[in-house]
Structure 1
Amino acid sequence: MFFAEKLMRNKTVLVNFSYLSILQIFTIVFPLLTYPYLLRIIGLELYGVLVFAQAIISYVSLVINFGFNMSGAKSVAVYKGDKERLSQIVSSIYLCKFILWFICLIVYLSVISIFPFFKNYYWVYVLSFLLTFNELLLPIWFFQGIERMKYITIVNLSSRLLFVVAIFLFVHDHEDFLLVPLLNGIGAILAGCLSFYDRVREGED
């Protein structure tokens, strides 16, 4: 009985680790699928601006994350059997993330509005901020803690695949470059909302 439980436990850990690894791998792979196409359609300069904007957003996302993917997952794992305590932890993390997100929004908009460097492609930087909704809403830490990474991996990968398809469907000209951060942001918001809904549903079970 002991060995059976231990085997099942190890299997669960392995499965969740596999889904997390798949998520990380395809997070890197999907942008590469659109790279040659976007480079040809919008040109090297605009593509460089888009990549630079996403790089800035990556740092902003780190601030919003604030280590919650590790500390949050640990807390959820410890208290996943205590529904009331778990609800408090989840609410606290979302509140902290929202505060950090709002502060980042104010600082970010102030910086790109004040400095002339961002003037020519102002809306690229504005629309790129939509990607932060992925960090705000997507509760990877929660699903890691309850050891149910399958759903969130499928949702995240589906939204990224949708972005790739949308790029080929809607971006056909140099002037369509603003659609790239917009479509990317819509995919991030969609994935975040679906995952947030599932987290709420999970909490009600």
Structure 2
Amino acid sequence: MAKVLDKALVINILSLLAYRGASFLFPLATLPYLARTLGVEHMGVLALALACVLYCSTISDWGFNVYTTKDIAHHREDKPRVTQIFWSTFNAKLLLMLVTSGSVLAATWFNPAWHGLFWIILANCTALLGSLFSFGWLMQGYEKLGKTAMISTFGNFCAIPLTFLLVKSPGDTWLAALIPGLVSLISSAITLKYVVEMKVVGRYRLEPREIWQRLTDSVDVFVAIAGANLFNSVNVLLLATFTSSYMTGIYNGADRLRKAANSVPEQIGSAFFPRVSFLFSRDKAAAIAATRKSLLFSFLLSLGIVIFTFFFADDVVRILLGPAFLPSADVLRVFVLCFLFGNIAYPAGLQILIPHGLRRERMFTMLGAGVINIPICSVLAWKYGAIGAAWSMVIAELLVCIGIFSIMARHGILREYLRRPEMSTVRRSEEGIESR
């Protein structure tokens, strides 16, 4: 059996954890300042604008970070094929970015009720440009995440002095939205230099048929991610619709802490994904062993975060957000329950369902949970405010987890992954004897 945990994989895991650790610490360095400078209501407005741009990002990414990473991992020794994949993905992302950002900016400019959001959304759209040139899907496909982590960490560090220098009052909300885009552009410029030095991509090529192929290949992954956003970012929009900017700000404060807390465990699955994709067709037993380790690490980290948050949420919110955000503590306690389900379901879907050709089933599971979330969140947000919106996300994550493992059980895959490794070895030996 191929070695599961070798030096390259360990470096990738540690790199991602270090990067996400930095992504956790650096925003926390500015979050107390932003919360006190902007106030609860303007934090709510900022959250609404960022949610709009996130939808543009979801569409422009189109699942390439999953499917293209898998494709490059399979063909990374074939430069002509990698070149074709690279440029067709880049061109598709560029096209989607222009269409989506243009549509959102036009909608906010011509809608009087949303006109105030136009400049904040325009400022944050720089993050879309940075994402276009980040090429994380290429670096991850080659398992070259060490440099990517260092570059992104440097970019995140730059956000700290920029925030303190530029954001001085609630009127600077648009600058708070611009800073993530600026640091993303800095990181992407450095990443582009490393991509050129890797010499794995040939000259620019424009092939409409290949672009269309990229879009059709990744559509199932895109719909799954879009479905997840129906119980992630859409809750901010629903909360803003049924409540107030103040309640949206309380939700946003807890949501930012949730994302920071989850930044480490959610990256374990991302680090294992290209290795599992590479091993699956070569040594399935090694791929299964890698997936087991990935899910175990994710769950243990998630459980630790949930326990810590239950006891110390009030102190964390008071220190990081300030006394005005104290209602966010109970919202945060509910939010982190998502980790127990999402940090198992998401890597299981990536590392098990997709390699087994069940990406469409995964797509329908996540989309279904997202659709169900909309009426649930609408009712809970209207009746209970921010904490109701948080509970609707927990319900949605639970439905996804149940759905993913139901698919595995229905197709006879679950037993294979639950079976003890030594039993799997014995069974394969017996099958080999019988075949002879």
Under a length normalisation based on structure 1, what TM-score does the superposition of the two structures give? 0.87
Instruction: Judge which range, 128-137 or 145-154, deviates more.
Output: 128-137
1:200 is the counterpart of 2:196:
yes
Q: CA deviation at 1:174?
A: 3.5
How many Å separate the matches in 1 of 2:24 and 2:51? 13
1:18 is the counterpart of 2:6:
no
How many Å separate the matches in 2 of 1:55 and 1:140? 22
Q: Map 1:153-172 to 2 at 5 A.
A: 153-172=149-168
Equivalent residue in structure 1 for 2:187, among 191, 194, 197: 191
| Structure number, greater radius of gyration | 2
Contact 1:19 1:153 in 2 (8 A): yes
Q: CA deviation at 1:51?
A: 1.9
Match of 2:54 in 1: 58
1:69 is the counterpart of 2:65:
yes
Match of 1:100 in 2: 96
Instruction: Judge which range, 149-158 or 193-202, deviates more.
Output: 193-202
Contact 1:64 1:135 in 2 (8 A): no
Q: Which amino acid aligns with 2:38?
A: I
Q: Which amino acid aligns with 1:90?
A: F
Instruction: Judge which range, 144-153 or 29-38, deviates more.
Output: 29-38
Contact 1:87 1:203 in 2 (8 A): no
Q: CA deviation at 1:92?
A: 0.9
Match of 1:36 in 2: 32
Q: Residue deviations 1:140-173, cap 9 Å, x none?
A: 1111111110111111121111112211123233
Q: Residue deviations 1:88-128, cap 9 Å, x none?
A: 11111101111111111221112111222221232111111
How many Å separate the matches in 1 of 2:173 and 2:190? 27
Q: CA deviation at 1:25?
A: 4.7
Moved over 6 A (4+): none
Match of 1:83 in 2: 79
Structure 1 residues 22 and 60: CA distance shift in structure 2, 3 A? farther
Q: Residue deviations 1:21-51, cap 9 Å, x none?
A: 4434544543333222112222222222112
Q: Map 1:124-139 to 2 at 5 A.
A: 124-139=120-135
Aligned length: 201
How many Å separate the matches in 2 of 1:115 and 1:28? 36
How many Å separate the matches in 2 of 1:54 and 1:26? 21
Contact 2:64 2:89 in 1 (8 A): yes
How many Å separate the matches in 1 of 2:12 and 2:106? 40
1:143 is the counterpart of 2:139:
yes
Secondary structure of 2:199's partner? Answer: helix
How many Å separate the matches in 1 of 2:196 and 2:72? 14
Match of 2:106 in 1: 110
Q: CA deviation at 1:195?
A: 1.2
How many Å separate the matches in 2 of 1:167 and 1:51? 16
How many Å separate the matches in 1 of 2:112 and 2:28? 31
Instruction: Judge which range, 14-23 or 162-171, deviates more.
Output: 14-23
Higher relative contact order (Cα pairs below 8 Å, separated by 6+ residues): 1
**Aligned alpha-carbon RMSD (Å):** 2.2
Q: Which amino acid aligns with 1:159?
A: G
Q: Which amino acid aligns with 2:88?
A: S
How many Å separate the matches in 1 of 2:93 and 2:117? 28
Percent identity over the alignment?
Answer: 25
How many Å separate the matches in 2 of 1:139 and 1:83? 16
Contact 2:50 2:124 in 1 (8 A): yes
Secondary structure of 1:138's partner? Answer: coil
Equivalent residue in structure 1 for 2:41, among 37, 41, 45: 45
Structure 1 residues 30 and 55: CA distance shift in structure 2, 3 A? farther
How many Å separate the matches in 1 of 2:54 and 2:20? 14
Q: Which amino acid aligns with 2:75?
A: Y
How many Å separate the matches in 2 of 1:57 and 1:32? 22
Q: Which amino acid aligns with 1:72?
A: T
Structure 2: which 5+ residue stretches go unaligned?
Answer: 202-436
